[in-house]
Amino acid sequence: MDLFLKVQEFLEKGYKSKAMNELASFLANNLNARKVLIFLYEPMRELFRLVGASSDEYENHIGKHKIPLQKIESSEGEIELKDLGFDSEEKGKILPLKFGEENLGFILAVDPHIQNSTDVLEKVGGALRFLAKYRYLEESVHKYQLMSRFTTLFEHTRDLGELYTRVLEVAVDVLEAESAMIWEREGEEYVLRSYKNLEEDIILRRKVEADHTFFSKFKEGTVLILNPDISLGLNDLIDLKLKSILVSSYRANDEIKGLFVVINKKERKGYRPFKKFDDFDVSLLAEITRRFSLALSRLEYYERLKEEVEKLEELRKRHEKLIEVQRDQLMKMETVYNVSQAMRSSYSLTNVYKILLLGLIANRGFNFDRALLLLRDTKRQVLIGKLWVGPQDEKEAESFMEKMRQRSLKYGDIVQYFREEAMTFDASSGLTPKIEGKIFHYKGHPILERAVLRKRIVYVNSRIIESFGENLRDILDILETDEFIVMPLVGRWDTLGVVIMDNRFTKRSISDSDLEILKLLSESAGLAIENIMNYEELREKTISLERQKDLIDYLRRFSESILQNLDAVVIVLDGGGKILEWNKKAELVFGYPRERMIGSRLENLGAEFENILAVALKVFETKETISMANYMFTMEREEKYFDIRFSPLWNPSGTHIDGVIITFEDVTDRYKMEQERKRQEKLSALGEMAARVAHEIRNPISVIGGFIKRMKKHIDEPETLTRYVEIVLNELERLERIVSEILEFSREAKKLEYTEFNINDLVREVYTLFEDPISKKNIKFQFDTGRENITVFADRIRIKQVLINLIQNAIDATPKNGNIRIKTEDMFERVRVSVWNSGSSIPKHIQDKIFQPFFTTKIQGTGLGLSICKKIVEDEHNGSIWVESDEEGTSFIFEIPKKGV
């Protein structure tokens, strides 16, 4: 018999195999004994267990019969079977099974006849010991192999949920456990996060308070509990018979996150003296949770990082979008101006129409796909198709747009491009034939009526089309698109027609800001068309007159007609201020009839005209043309702006002046557009400001902080402290100045408070503020007054601010022993103040930038001083400010109207 094979069979198959019985029979034979029983020692429990017998009568005891260790130690050699718990009167001899000093069990031999059995017993012991050890090692290797699955798992799992599921799978495999679960701490509770091999109906709770018995027992580390009882509290959570459990804490990012609970060792094949988790399992689980914790930390960190990156990306996109929108708006605003400009510079009505439509579809214009012009016939109350530009269909779209783009690139001046493109562009073919002469009734039409009669820009989309349905059929059949804009062309009195734009091919969406900007175009284009219509009407008249060949009459009427039909107000005054001429436009604009005005006096019309008269009288003195820009009239509570020109009217021989011709050009649109542009510029300047402010205030703050730290160090030295306090105060003042300049620049224009005051008094008052620094630098200060009393009507505080800034700059720029000279001059309707200093000259390229916000050459200061001056003088007081510089020195000069705006 091969002892080894028998022992191996037993270890692998357990009690089921009869290998141990066969071994017992073999030994009985060998020892010549009546019976042999084999007991093996279980060190964990300190007992011996019956594993095999040579006789069938013990069949029911095998694997079950146990004998405590003390029993065998105390009885040497012979022992009664009764004493070992068997129902027998026999005696047996105990033959220990050993390997070296290690106790492996014993053999109980009844009536042995061979005394010297050492040899065979050593063989059995050796086989048991060697094979058990071999098996243990083999299993350990297998477990370590399973553990290596972790490494792969942790390296490749990017998903948190998957990590939990997989770690449980591996743990159950490696530890040969029945089941496992993970409880995670969430606030004041523990939550069953994940589990493996647990039936739904045995899970009693999935959430418990953190101070629950079970969780309050475990803080940190890995423990093995061999005989869990009710006091453990685990049976509150799962309804399962517990034999042995392993509990281990795990962490994420340095915090204990929860508990890993592994339940019951699985039933395994073969002979197992110990059926629960052991110390080796404890160290395995400790290793599993350690790696799990690492993976969790890494994943959580990774998740957070991903979130941060996404957030940043989102922010960046939003920011870029904003800038894009703003840039687009500014560009379109400029387009309004360019298109209007081009329209005004043409004298052919057809060309003006073409310029308008091209402006709407050009990529350097509004970039719509198509634009359709319908002109209004007031008598018949219809709109008539006139021109339609754009690609005819999808196929043509790309090449059409590309061709337009190529042509526009040849021009630097966009106005020039619109004009020349209009002349060469053939608008009679293509889309135009589809609509030419086609009639649309606007009365009662849901969209056209709103555009024509209420002068509104109408944006139409699929929702609006749905609600109006069939009533829109006439337009929809032609346009074949469900998103478009109808823009009225608004003239001085009435709507002249409408333009319909769409993006049928490119499907670009139309924004609210587009509509806002189109409002501007709607009016300025209408006015431009009306101007040309007047002009054409005039030309037609001229032609019929020419036919009469009544040249003198024609000329007289022609000039009269020009005068009367001119788009500008024309007023002629004689030397005494009496009105000689008052044209039709003047009637319209000021609302006084010609018959009543001729022969009457201008100043009777109110304060605004008093100024006009004063300037006109000045022309008799200077004999030169005088211009005034953006002069404001308030008419019916609406502000209108005019460019006014005063020209001398010479007598026929050119020897003296008979009168003054005053022309008023309505520039309200232009003026408003300029204001809007200024506002936009300021907005972008404000954006830049945030960054600059951060930098400007950082330096003083560093200095203040640094010295305050030093103060702490030198608290016992009064002299040093005083010096430091001086410096800190100094820097605080500087901080305050920076902050107040920024506030000053960024504040919205507030209502100005106009008072009457003498500008010379104000200059003297400001001078006293600077007496100290001026004398410190030994600067020679000179003040020349034009007239002693120059009264101006302006916001005194704001003008004082201008003087302070200019004089401060002059002092900064003047070297020691230098000169500063201030001069005031009465310029009739304006007052001029110049502040000159003998500092070095300012190069031309810097002069151009000097009034821009944040431009500075100085060491200190925000670079806002001069831009604040410009704002006060030009924006608030309708004046002007500029710089003149040569080798001698530099002057900053400003002029404001004496009588306010």
Partner 1 sequence: MGKRILIVEDEPNMRLLIREELEEEGYDVEEASNGEEALEKFKEAEYDLVTIDIEMPGMNGLELAGRIREMKKDAKIILLTAYSHYKGDLSSWAADAYIIKSMDFQELKDTVNKLLSK
Q: Which residues sit at the interface with partner 1, rule CB under 8 A? A: 695, 698-699, 701-710, 727, 730-731, 857-860
- The answer to whether 8 and 86 are in contact (CB under 8 A) is no
- Comparison of 152 and 860: residue with beta carbon closer to partner 1: 860
Token digits of residue 375: 């002109």
C-alpha 897/C-alpha 877 separation (Å) is 7
C-alpha 351/C-alpha 366 separation (Å) is 18
- The answer to whether 339 and 525 are in contact (CB under 8 A) is yes
C-alpha 414/C-alpha 364 separation (Å) is 8
Q: Tell me the CA distances in angstroms from 425 to 89, 419, 834, one per residue in order.
A: 130, 10, 54
- Comparison of 102 and 688: residue with beta carbon closer to partner 1: 688
**Beta carbon of residue 723, minimum distance to partner 1 (angstroms, whole number):** 9
C-alpha 44/C-alpha 70 separation (Å) is 14
**Beta carbon of residue 858, minimum distance to partner 1 (angstroms, whole number):** 7
- Comparison of 432 and 856: residue with beta carbon closer to partner 1: 856
- Comparison of 253 and 857: residue with beta carbon closer to partner 1: 857
Q: Tell me the CA distances in angstroms from 551 to 537, 544, 561, one per residue in order.
A: 19, 12, 14
**Beta carbon of residue 727, minimum distance to partner 1 (angstroms, whole number):** 5
- Comparison of 191 and 693: residue with beta carbon closer to partner 1: 693
Partners of 665 in the beta sheet? 643
- Amino acid, single-letter form, for residue 277: F
**Can you tell me which residue has the tokens 């359709």?**
372
**8-state DSSP, 44:** T
- Comparison of 743 and 859: residue with beta carbon closer to partner 1: 859
Partners of 646 in the beta sheet? 626, 662
C-alpha 857/C-alpha 839 separation (Å) is 14
- Comparison of 630 and 847: residue with beta carbon closer to partner 1: 847
Widest pairwise Cα distance in the chain: 169
- Comparison of 516 and 688: residue with beta carbon closer to partner 1: 688
Token digits of residue 393: 């269909």
**Beta carbon of residue 693, minimum distance to partner 1 (angstroms, whole number):** 12
- Comparison of 48 and 707: residue with beta carbon closer to partner 1: 707
**Beta carbon of residue 901, minimum distance to partner 1 (angstroms, whole number):** 38
**Beta carbon of residue 812, minimum distance to partner 1 (angstroms, whole number):** 12
Neighbouring C-alpha atoms within 13 Å toward the C-beta of 627: 4
**Beta carbon of residue 701, minimum distance to partner 1 (angstroms, whole number):** 7
- Comparison of 283 and 860: residue with beta carbon closer to partner 1: 860
- Comparison of 549 and 816: residue with beta carbon closer to partner 1: 816
**Beta carbon of residue 733, minimum distance to partner 1 (angstroms, whole number):** 11
**Beta carbon of residue 702, minimum distance to partner 1 (angstroms, whole number):** 5
**Beta carbon of residue 319, minimum distance to partner 1 (angstroms, whole number):** 16
C-alpha 448/C-alpha 823 separation (Å) is 62
**Beta carbon of residue 695, minimum distance to partner 1 (angstroms, whole number):** 5
**Beta carbon of residue 183, minimum distance to partner 1 (angstroms, whole number):** 46
Q: Tell me the CA distances in angstroms from 450 to 369, 610, 619, 748, 821, one per residue in order.
A: 23, 42, 49, 36, 63
User: Rounded to the nearest 10 degrees, what angle do helices 668-713 and 512-548 cross at?
Assistant: 150
Rounded to 10 degrees, the C-alpha dihedral 697/699/704/708 comes to: 130
**Beta carbon of residue 724, minimum distance to partner 1 (angstroms, whole number):** 9
- Comparison of 114 and 708: residue with beta carbon closer to partner 1: 708
Cα dihedral sign, 327-407-396-340: positive
- Comparison of 190 and 707: residue with beta carbon closer to partner 1: 707
**8-state DSSP, 455:** -
- Count Cβ neighbours within 10 Å for each residue of 202-235 and write b for 16 or more, e otherwise: eeeeeebeeebebbeebeeebebbeebeeebebb
| CB-based contacts of 794, cutoff 8 Å, min separation 6 | 752, 754, 755, 757, 877, 896, 900
C-alpha 182/C-alpha 292 separation (Å) is 11
